[in-house]
Amino acid sequence: MKLHEAAAAPNCRRVRIFLAEKGIDVPIQPVDIANMENRRPPYTDKNPMSGVPMLELDDGTCIAESVAICRYFEELQPEPPLMGRDPLDKAKVEMWQRRMELEILLPIAQAFRQSHPFFAQRIEQVPAFGEAQKRHALQRMAWLDQELASREFVAGDRYTIADITALVGIDFGRVVKVRIPEEMSHLARWHAAVSSRPSAQA
């Protein structure tokens, strides 16, 4: 198998961190997204949606979407459990993972898509929407700061994929000048802790 990915893309980093936490090594096939390699054949023959990352199995099966790739490896190697242990725990982790995706990672990614020159020739940008998404991201970071006042990690007392998604989103915020404000001490404490894990360097 091999993982088609672009080093700078946040969803690719999400999978790399997940694999590092699992101790799984997968060969990397770099994809040049700056030159839109992902938007033409042969890449689009395997993934018509053109996104990265994409996992290509030895039999030619291709799995796109970062969380789907993580789910595949979670099922192959359940330990350490990054997506929950039992039905209730799995539901809670999925709830928080989805919240981090929609409320933290997505608005920051939208701010990038709508305002950064990288996407100028790729989509019709609406800069005002990008600025609104920055403000929304900061509001949701304030909400997450309060949530983290009562627990160590996003989904509870154990590191999970929800922490990975939140970390990737917040770190990507630097590209659009969205950073953790000084007054968000709980979020800053959490961020320092998860950033110190070896997997964060993946």
pLDDT value, residue 122: 81
- Predicted model pTM: 0.95
* Strand spans (E) along 49-173: 54-56, 62-64
Structure tokens at 5: 């990915």
Q: In 3D, which of 3, 5, 9 has the Cα closest to residue 105?
A: 9
Tell me how far apart the alpha carbons of residues 16 and 19 are, in angstroms, rounded to a whole number. 5
> What is the residue whose two structure tokens read 């192959």?
76
Q: Is 174 exposed, middle or buried (0-12, 13-18, 19+ CB in 10 A)?
A: exposed
Per-residue pLDDT of the chain (202 residues; tens, 9 = 90+): 999 999 999 999 999 999 999 999 999 999 999 999 999 999 999 999 999 999 999 999 999 999 999 999 999 999 999 999 999 999 999 999 999 999 999 999 999 999 888 888 787 889 999 999 999 999 999 999 999 999 999 999 999 999 999 999 999 999 999 999 999 999 999 999 999 999 999 9
C-alpha torsion sign, points 168, 170, 171, 174: positive
pLDDT value, residue 116: 80
pLDDT value, residue 140: 98
Terminus-to-terminus CA distance in the chain, angstroms? 19
What region, left, alpha or beta, does residue 84 occupy, with left being phi > 0 and alpha being psi -120 to 50 degrees?
left
pLDDT value, residue 171: 98
pLDDT value, residue 155: 98
Tell me how far apart the alpha carbons of residues 168 and 76 are, in angstroms, rounded to a whole number. 23
pLDDT value, residue 191: 98
